[in-house]
Amino acid sequence: MTKLRTLTTTAIGLLAGALLSFAGLAAEARPAGKVAILTAQAWTVTPGATYAWAPSMTDADPRVANDIVQARMRAAVDSALAAKGLIRVDNPAAATLMVSYRVGVEDKVETHVDSFGRPATVCGFRGCFVARGYGATMVDVDRFVEGTLVLDLTHRESGRLVWRAASRKHVTRRDAGQARLNAVLAAMTRSLPGA
């Protein structure tokens, strides 16, 4: 019996380890988290289109509202759009598209309660009854920061939104590094036609 229990525990441990490894690979494969794309049917973004920077709105949170993060964001957006064949111009009047982004962070808490209790027969002076809920209860409190990034391409002459990508994911300080921002923006712009 002990050998069987040990074997089962080991098998469960290996399976759990494999699942966690797979979840880690899946998380790395989706650096932008959940991405939603919105496109206008009347106008498409094509390689060779020119763009200029429009004023970007950023959350007032000092974790993202600072010159360092904003410079990294612009560099990541420029890199992602250049990879898709879009050309940045300094003069907004010469651009076909205006590019802007909004970034925000929010502290979140999620609570999960699991009860592992089995029904138990409890006897007392009034007789016996089946009691439920006795046993172990586990409460997990998950504190994290959720980041949201919205990238907009707007037609300069009409002022109409042409394309939007919105990303939402759990973030850490490491996500503000240039390499991570480049990966996030590359994933977000994947649906744009390439050069």
Do 45 and 6 share a structural domain?
A: no
Q: Answer whether residue 13 shows pLDDT above 60.
A: no
The C-alpha R_g of the chain, in whole angstroms, comes to: 25
Do 51 and 10 share a structural domain?
A: no
* C-alpha neighbours within 13 Å on the C-beta side of residue 128: 5
Q: Which residues pair with 102 in a beta bridge?
A: 57, 150
> Which pLDDT belongs to residue 43?
75
Q: Answer whether residue 25 shows pLDDT above 50.
A: no
Domain presence at residue 195: no
Task: Give the chain's domain count.
Answer: 2
Tell me, what CATH number does 75's domain have?
3.30.160
Measured distance CA(111)–CA(113) in Å, rounded: 7
Do 40 and 3 share a structural domain?
A: no
Q: Answer whether residue 3 shows pLDDT above 60.
A: no
- 10 Å CB burial of residue 70 (0-12, 13-18, 19+) is middle
The residue among 73, 35, 77, 56 whose CA lies nearest residue 167 is: 35
More confident residue, 4 or 172: 172
Structural tokens at position 41: 């049917």
Measured distance CA(174)–CA(72) in Å, rounded: 13
> Which pLDDT belongs to residue 119?
65
Angle at 71 between CA 154 and CA 69, to 5 degrees: 105
Do 150 and 73 share a structural domain?
A: yes
pLDDT tens digits, one per residue of 123-166: 777 777 776 655 666 788 889 999 999 999 999 999 999 999 99
> Which pLDDT belongs to residue 131?
66
pLDDT tens digits, one per residue of 57-115: 666 788 888 899 999 999 999 999 999 999 999 999 999 999 999 998 999 999 887 76
Do 21 and 102 share a structural domain?
A: no
Residue numbers of the domain that contains 39: 32-188
Q: Answer whether residue 177 shows pLDDT above 80.
A: yes
More confident residue, 20 or 190: 190
